[in-house]
Chains A and B, each alone.
Chain A
Amino acid sequence: MRRELIGIATACVGLWLGVLPLSAHHSFAAEFDQSKPVTLEGAVTKVEWFNPHVYIYIDVKDANGKAVNWALEGGPPNSLYRQGWRKDSVKIGDRITVTAYLAKDASSTASIRLVTTPDGRKVFAGTADDGGPKQ
């Protein structure tokens, strides 16, 4: 765990140096609404470490206490790997907080910017320079 977090911390440093994960697969604005930021907190139910995008799924409780499963789209695994992420950096059951931007189609889908790991570290895991916000 400690080694993973060092890796994530390294990714953070990379971000500050301007080395960001990227994607060319689609336009940010064609799918997500940068006027609709959202912060979601919940337990990880699944991680898909595949191209063209990593997906992290979390259960988030709605106003009625009912769990809603959100699909959170990150950058491509190739870019995230080069930044220090590994496919088990976030595990099923981990409670994470994510700042993201909502999909325009009102589905429970959002584009990840920052992931706050259980120990409080904030790591960029999104698709940088995709036209969406940096954070």
Chain B
Amino acid sequence: MKSTAILATFVLFAAAEAFAGPPDLSGVWQAPYTPDLTKPLSHDLPYTPYGAERFKNVVHADDPSSYCLPVGPARIIQAPLPFQIVQTPNAVVLLMEYMHTFREIYTDGRGHPDDLEPFRWYGDSVGKWDGDTLVVDTVGIGDRTWLDTAGHQHSDQLHLVERFRKVDENTITWTVTFEDPKMYKEPFTVTLPLKRQKTMLMMYSCEENEKDRVHLDNTKQSAKPGELQ
């Protein structure tokens, strides 16, 4: 009789756990500003010869960000401004203060579309729940964004896998794996904590007062990798 009660309690807890669904990621969050991916990695990026040549010839005046162009799906999370997660049963939407834009991550079971052309810049993102973790797969980013402000670039083969895991009410661990066989010999993974922010999103128009572009260094990269942020 006692063992039956224990079993019933266990089944009820298991059912409640399953019924509870995925964790609620809603809220306003911000990562520590990460303008140079080599800093959290503590080592240089694993360039292919082609990738090394691209980095060596970076011209900072060409930074898409300085033209107020979309900055890419990971770099916008690495930015020093907050973003809001809006979670629905079929999609998770990231509303970004920086550049006042958004990313939509479909969680309804669909795959990537055959034609990725319409999804350049932030790519096409689909997500699924792996236990308590939202796993997001992004392709179709194109080759015009940069991975960071230091000038690490990517090709049109960039593929991102992000993992959002809520570790407590005020923290999500964000892990992103960058895979780009044309630019980097092997995938590399960066993990940053997203901290809940007690703030509302504000308006941000990059074009409103853009005055930096004319002053930016328009020569090829002269600093060693890791020196520029």
- A interface with B by C-beta (< 8 Å): 22-31, 48, 50-53, 55, 71, 73, 76, 78-79, 81-82, 103-105, 107, 109, 129-131
Is B177 part of the contact surface with A, judged by Cβ < 8 Å? no
Q: Are A26 and B66 in contact, with the CB atoms below 8 A?
A: yes
CB atoms of B63 and A27 under 8 A apart: yes
Nearest 4 CB-CB pairings of A with B: A131-B229, A22-B80, A30-B60, A50-B209
Q: How long is the Cα–Cα vector from A22 to B223 in the complex, in angstroms?
A: 23
Would A22 and B149 count as touching, CB distance under 8 A?
no
Label chain A's interface by main secondary structure.
loop
11 contacting pairs across A/B (C-beta < 8 A): A23-B80, A24-B79, A26-B65, A27-B60, A51-B208, A55-B211, A78-B202, A103-B215, A104-B215, A129-B35, A129-B80
Contact B81 A27 (CB under 8 A): no
- Number of B interface residues, CB 8 Å? 38
Q: Which residue from B36, B212, B217, B227 sits with its C-beta under 8 Å from A73?
A: B212
Contact A105 B215 (CB under 8 A): yes
Residues in B neighbouring A24, C-beta threshold 8 A:
33, 35, 65, 71, 75, 78-81, 98, 149
- Which residues of B come within 8 Å of A, CB atoms? 33, 35-36, 60-61, 63, 65-66, 68, 71, 75, 78-81, 97-98, 149-151, 199, 202-206, 208-212, 215-217, 223, 227-229
Nearest chain A residue, comparing its CB with the CB of B227: A29
Which chain B residues border A48 with CB–CB below 8 Å?
209
New A-B contacts (8) at CB < 8 Å, excluding given A23-B80, A24-B98, A30-B217: A29-B227, A31-B217, A50-B205, A51-B205, A73-B212, A81-B202, A105-B215, A131-B35
Residue in B closest to A30 when the chains form the complex, CB atoms = B60
Expressed in whole angstroms, the Cα–Cα distance for A103 and B71 within the complex equals: 24
Contact B202 A26 (CB under 8 A): no
- CB-CB under 8 A from B71, the residues of chain A are 24
Residue from A23, A25, A76, A79 whose CB has the most chain B CB atoms within 10 Å: A25
B residues within 8 A CB of A81? 202
Q: How far is the CA of A71 from the CA of B214 in the complex (A)?
A: 13
Does B208 lie within 8 Å of A50, measured CB to CB? yes
Known: A26-B60, A104-B217. A53 touches B65 (CB 8 A): no
Asked if B35 and A27 sit within 8 Å, CB to CB, the answer is yes
Which residues from chain B contact A105 at a C-beta distance below 8 Å? 215
Say whether B212 contacts A25, CB under 8 Å.
yes
In the assembled complex, how far is the CB of residue B49 from the closest CB belonging to chain A, in whole angstroms? 24
Residues of A within 8 A of B150 (CB): 27
Which single residue of chain A is at the shortest CB-CB distance from B75? A24
* Alpha-carbon distance A87/B24, docked complex (angstroms): 36
Determine the chain B residues whose CB is within 8 A of the CB of A50 once the complex forms.
205, 208-209
Bound Cα distance A76, B151 (Å): 21
The interface residues of chain B lying within 8 Å CB-to-CB of A103 are 215
Residues of chain A within 8 A (CB-CB) of B227 are: 29
Please indicate the chain B residues that have their CB under 8 angstroms from the CB of A109 in the complex: 215
Q: Are B81 and A22 closer than 8 Å at their CB atoms?
A: yes
Known: A24-B35, A24-B65, A24-B71. A29 touches B229 (CB 8 A): yes
Per a CB cutoff under 8 Å, which of B78, B202, B208, B216 touches A30? B216
State A76–B204 Cα separation when bound (angstroms): 9
Which chain A residues lie closer than 8 Å to B204 at the CB level? 51-52, 76, 78
> Could you say which residues of chain A place their CB within 8 Å of the CB of B78?
24
